[in-house]
Structure 1
Amino acid sequence: MDSVRLQGRRRLRAGALAAVAIASLFMGVVSPAAPAQAADITDGLALWYKLDATSGTVAADASGNGRNGTVNGTATWSGAGEGLTFDGSSTYVKVPDNIMSGMNSITVSMDVQIDAAQATPYFLYGFGNTAGGAGNGYLFTTGDSFRTAITSGSWSSEQNTRLSTALQRSVWKHVTYTQTGTTGVLYEDGREVARNTSVTVTPGSIGSGTTTANYIGKSLFSADKLFKGKMRDFRVYNRALASGEVLELSGNTAGVAKVTHPALKIDAMVDDANSKITLPLTEGTDLTTLAPQFTLAQGATISPASGAPRDFSEPVTYDVTGSDGKKRTWTVAALVMRSPVLPGLTADPNIVRFGDTFYMYPTTDGFEGWSGTQFKAYSSKDLVHWTDHGVILDLGPDVSWADTRAWAPTMAEKNGKYYFYYSADTNIGVAVSDSPTGPFKDPLGKPLIARGAFSGQMIDPAVFTDDDGQSYLYWGNGWAYAVPLNDDMVSFDASKVTDMTPSGYREGAFVIKRKGVYYFMWSENDTRDENYRVAYATGSSPTGPWTKRGVILEKDLALGIKGPGHHSVVQVPGTDDWYIAYHRFAIPGGDGTHRETTIDRLEFDSAGLIKKVVPTLSSIDPVSVGATLPTHTTRSLQSVNFPGRYAAVHSDSLGYLDPVTSSSTAAVKQNATFTIVPGLADSTCYSFRDSSGRYLRHMDFRVRFDASDGTALFNNDATYCARPGSATGSVSLESYNYPGRYLRHYYYELRIDPYQDNATFRADSSFTAASPWA
Structure 2
Amino acid sequence: MTFKINLFGIVLIAVAMVPQLSISQNPIITDVFTADPAPLVYNDTLYLYTSHDTASVASTNYEMKDWLVFSTTDMKKWTNHGPKLSPKTFSWATGDAYAAQCVERDGKFYFYVSTFHKDSEVSKGGAAIGVAVADSPLGPFKDAIGKALIVNEMTTDNPHGWDDIDPTVFVDDNGQAYMYWGNGSCKWVKLKDNMTEVDGEINYLNPENFIEGPWLYKRNDLYYLVYASKGESREAIDYCTSDSPEGPWEYQGVLSDSAPNSFTIHPGIINYKGKDYFFYHNGVLPTGGSYRRSIAADYMYYNEDGTIKKVVQTDQGVDAIAN
**TM-score, length basis structure 2:** 0.83
Q: Which runs of 4+ in 1 moved over 6 A?
A: none
2:323 pairs with 1:622: no
1-structure distance, mates of 2:195, 2:94: 23
Partner residue in 2 for 1:592 = 290
One-letter code aligned to 1:365: D
Report SS of the residue matched to 1:382: coil
Partner residue in 2 for 1:231 = none
One-letter code aligned to 2:90: V
Q: 129, 140, 159: which one pairs with 1:428?
A: 129
RMSD of Structure 2 on Structure 1 (CA):
2.2
Partner residue in 2 for 1:361 = 49
Q: State the Cα deviation string for residues 53-87 of structure 1 (Å, max 9, x = none).
A: xxxxxxxxxxxxxxxxxxxxxxxxxxxxxxxxxxx
One-letter code aligned to 1:622: A
Q: CA deviation at 1:375?
A: 1.2
Q: State the Cα deviation string for residues 287-346 of structure 1 (Å, max 9, x = none).
A: x6379xxxxxxxxxxxxxxxxx8xx7xxxxxxxxxxxxxxxxxxxxx9511121123211
Q: 428, 440, 443: which one pairs with 2:141?
A: 440
Higher strand proportion, which one? 2
Aligned 8 A contact 2:262 2:293 in 1: no
Partner residue in 1 for 2:68 = 376
One-letter code aligned to 1:421: Y
One-letter code aligned to 2:299: R
Partner residue in 1 for 2:99 = 408
Q: CA deviation at 1:422?
A: 0.4
One-letter code aligned to 2:176: Q
Q: CA deviation at 1:385?
A: 1.2
2:309 pairs with 1:611: yes
| Alignment map for 1:649-688 (pairs within 5 Å) | none
| Alignment map for 1:275-286 (pairs within 5 Å) | none
Partner residue in 2 for 1:159 = none
Partner residue in 2 for 1:601 = 299
Aligned 8 A contact 1:535 1:549 in 2: yes
One-letter code aligned to 2:223: Y
Q: Structure 2 stretches of 5 or more lacking a match?
A: 1-14, 117-126
1-structure distance, mates of 2:229, 2:84: 29
Q: State the Cα deviation string for residues 490-518 of structure 1 (Å, max 9, x = none).
A: 001242x2212212100010112112111
| Alignment map for 1:558-597 (pairs within 5 Å) | 562-563=262-263, 565-573=265-273, 575=274, 577-597=275-295
Q: State the Cα deviation string for residues 428-468 of structure 1 (Å, max 9, x = none).
A: 00000011111100022211101232134110001112122
| Alignment map for 1:113-262 (pairs within 5 Å) | none
Q: State the Cα deviation string for residues 404-437 of structure 1 (Å, max 9, x = none).
A: 2111010111111100000112210000001111
Q: CA deviation at 1:584?
A: 0.9
Aligned 8 A contact 1:535 1:552 in 2: yes
Q: CA deviation at 1:481?
A: 1.3
Q: 148, 153, 175: which one pairs with 1:452?
A: 153
1-structure distance, mates of 2:308, 2:111: 28
1-structure distance, mates of 2:84, 2:263: 27
Partner residue in 1 for 2:178 = 472
One-letter code aligned to 2:301: E
Aligned 8 A contact 2:37 2:50 in 1: yes
**TM-score, length basis structure 1:** 0.36
Partner residue in 1 for 2:4 = none
2:254 pairs with 1:551: yes
Report SS of the residue matched to 2:91: coil
2:235 pairs with 1:532: yes
1-structure distance, mates of 2:131, 2:17: 51
Aligned 8 A contact 1:395 1:404 in 2: yes
2-structure distance, mates of 1:554, 1:373: 28
Q: 319, 337, 346: which one pairs with 2:24?
A: 337
Q: CA deviation at 1:589?
A: 4.7
Q: State the Cα deviation string for residues 652-701 of structure 1 (Å, max 9, x = none).
A: xxxxxxxxxxxxxxxxxxxxxxxxxxxxxxxxxxxxxxxxxxxxxxxxxx
2-structure distance, mates of 1:459, 1:371: 16
Q: CA deviation at 1:403?
A: 2.9
One-letter code aligned to 1:544: G
Q: State the Cα deviation string for residues 569-596 of structure 1 (Å, max 9, x = none).
A: 01024x3x21011111233453221110
One-letter code aligned to 1:350: A
Q: CA deviation at 1:521?
A: 0.5
Q: State the Cα deviation string for residues 593-618 of structure 1 (Å, max 9, x = none).
A: 11100100011112221001010111
Report SS of the residue matched to 1:373: strand
Overall identity of the aligned pairs, in %? 34
Higher relative contact order (CA 8 A, sep 6+): 2
One-letter code aligned to 1:570: I
Aligned 8 A contact 1:564 1:585 in 2: no
Partner residue in 2 for 1:289 = 16
One-letter code aligned to 2:96: R
Q: 225, 229, 250: which one pairs with 1:520?
A: 225
Aligned 8 A contact 2:237 2:258 in 1: no
Q: CA deviation at 1:378?
A: 0.8
Partner residue in 2 for 1:419 = 110
Q: Structure 1 stretches of 5 or more lacking a match?
A: 1-287, 292-308, 313-333, 627-774
Aligned length: 289
Aligned 8 A contact 1:603 1:611 in 2: yes
1-structure distance, mates of 2:297, 2:43: 20
2-structure distance, mates of 1:586, 1:416: 37
One-letter code aligned to 1:596: S
2-structure distance, mates of 1:358, 1:519: 21
Change (3 A) 1:400 1:622: same
Q: 83, 96, 112: which one pairs with 1:391?
A: 83
